[in-house]
Structure 1
Amino acid sequence: MPAAKTCPICGKPSVEAFKPFCSKRCADVDLNRWLSGTYVIPAKEDEPAAHENTPVSGDDDEF
Structure 2
Amino acid sequence: MSSKPDSRRCAYCHAAPVAQAFRPFCSAGCRARDLNAWLSDRYVIPGGSDDDELSASSPLDKHDEAG
User: Which structure is higher in helix share?
Assistant: 1
1:36, 1:8 → 2: CA distance? 18
Q: Residue 5 in 1 paired to residue 1 in 2?
A: no
Q: Structure 1 regions of 5+ residues with no counterpart? A: 59-63
Q: Structure 2 regions of 5+ residues with no counterpart? A: 1-5
Q: Residue 17 in 1 paired to residue 26 in 2?
A: no
| Aligned CA-pair RMSD | 2.6
Deviation for aligned residue 1:9: 2.0
Q: Residue 33 in 1 paired to residue 40 in 2?
A: no
User: Which structure is higher in strand share?
Assistant: 2
TM-score (normalised: structure 2): 0.62
- Work out the percentage of aligned pairs sharing the same amino acid: 40
1:46, 1:27 → 2: CA distance? 32
TM-score (normalised: structure 1): 0.66
